[in-house]
Amino acid sequence: MISIDSNFKRLYYFRYADDFIIGVVDSKKYCTILKEKIHDFLETGLNLILNLGKTSITNATKKLS
């Protein structure tokens, strides 16, 4: 029997120049919390500003019409 760790999160990080994409296999609620944590880290830890107008949470598996 395979045990599943409920604390395990699957993340994928892609970076190109000054842009990045983080792929997350989890709920939208978790993604929203992660986005807030990234925003706080960039602002306080690196003195960078996350452009919230260009930053979005989307479902990559939904088909676009």
Q: What is the pTM of this model?
A: 0.76
Residue 2 pLDDT: 62
Residue 5 pLDDT: 78
In the chain, what percentage of residues exceed pLDDT 70? 91
On average, the pLDDT of the chain sits at 87
Residue 8 pLDDT: 85
Please report, in angstroms and rounded to a whole number, the separation of the first and last CA atoms in the chain. 41
Which is nearest to 26 in space by CA: 63, 62, 59?
59
Cα–Cα distances in Å, from 49 out to 10, 44, 62? Answer: 25, 9, 29
CA distance 44 to 13: 21
**27 backbone dihedrals φ, ψ, rounded to 5°:** -80, 160
Q: Does the structure show a pLDDT above 60 at 35? A: yes
Q: Does the structure show a pLDDT above 80 at 4? A: no
